[in-house]
Copies of this chain bind each other. A is one copy, B any other.
Amino acid sequence: MTRLNGRFTLRRGGFLLDTAFDSAGPGVTALCGPSGAGKTSLLRCLAGLEMPEAGTLSVGGEVWFDAERGVSVPPQRRSIGYVTQEPSLFAHLSVEDNLLYGYKRLAPSARKTTLEDVVDGLGLKSLLPRRVTNLSGGERQRVAIGRALLRSPQVLLLDEPVSALDVAGRADVLRYLRLVLERFAVRSVYVSHDLREAARLANEMLWMEGGKVVAQGNARDVLTDVHLPFAELDEAESLLDGVIEGHDEQMGLTRIRCANQALWLTQVEAPVGSSHRVQIAARDVSLALSAPGAVSILNVLEAKVSDLVVAPRQPAQMIVRLDVAGHPLLARITRKSALALQLQTGTPVWALVKSVALAE
């Protein structure tokens, strides 16, 4: 699939973006990092809106930028959709015409989706004839996403695209986004401050700091590496791949087999036998030395401690990496508990998983 790789050197006042990256895909690459890390700057370089002093960019083997050879494909000839951090809709056009702006500029054969589909998926029906200047913040963001999708891009750049949406709206939009990205095999770089949100979408994660990508890799590994900044976040979580084993229609639950064990989650519409990824928040994982009795916790996994560190910013907490039949699983517990349980690398434990969610 579309591989994104290259390096950029871009100086803007006191800030220096100076980083290499190589993201093989497929799917979504999450781009995270503190405010001012250079996430937006990197996206702008990818989009061709900044002209780095040095560097290269190749997308799916095509060279989009090469400072030395003087190559720079202009933005309009890069197949990108870019949802900027602050949506910049065309003030003189209606919502509908905003949505169609990129669409109209595509050869019909290059159009992968339709206005109807996007409007339905993002719940924009009632907004179509409206002017964009008096949309609410969340409405503006959804229009911007729709506009970028209708451009049917090869690469979709999303800079906190749902920050102004309420929880329910955000879930709806992300669900639709995931669907579209998969359906059309779009590569996407997704900036988010919400790690759970990012993890739900991403195959791969980049962590930026001070203008540099400092950590990068498969989302499952990066997220559960206790030495990387993800693990210490409140929202730290693990991803496990599994296969649906069955549904409990009556209870509305689905059983999924992950790491050779059964996990229950809220029923999903998916056939038995299909592969899925689940995400488990580190804070949702408790540890016990013996199999627990009657608790409301549905999922109990046999595991072994494979790594543990004190959380750098919260010294009362420990981050524990578990090995569940070869799959990494993060748990966050208090140091007091860890001491009481006398945890160390190799200790066999029961992981009590409070909540399991489907990641894809």
Contact = CB atoms under 8 A, between A and B. Distances in A.
Which of A13, A34, A286 has the most chain B CB atoms inside 10 A of its CB?
Answer: A286
Nearest to A288: B295
A34 B160 CA distance: 18
Nearest to A38: B136
A35 interface: yes
A34 B168 contact: yes
A316 B164 contact: no
Interface in A154-174: 159-160, 163-170
Given A164-B163, A252-B316, A316-B252, A137 B294 contact: no
Contacts of A136: 35-36, 40
Interface stretch (A55-63, A212-220, A238-246, A332-340): A332-340
Interface string A241-275: 00000001001110000000000101100000000
Nearest to A170: B193
B85 A164 contact: yes
A4 interface: no
A109 interface: no
Interface in A140-184: 142, 159-160, 163-170
A67 B230 CA distance: 52
B286 A294 contact: no
Interface in A72-117: 85-86
Nearest to A87: B86
Which of A166, A296, A334 has the most chain B CB atoms inside 10 A of its CB?
Answer: A296
A8 to B, nearest CB: 16
A314 B355 CA distance: 13
A202 B226 CA distance: 33
Interface in A341-360: 341, 352, 354-355
A75 to B, nearest CB: 19
Nearest to A85: B137
Contacts of A338: 296
**What 9 A-B pairs come out closest when comparing CB atoms?**
A35-B138, A252-B316, A287-B296, A296-B337, A266-B316, A251-B336, A296-B333, A288-B295, A163-B163
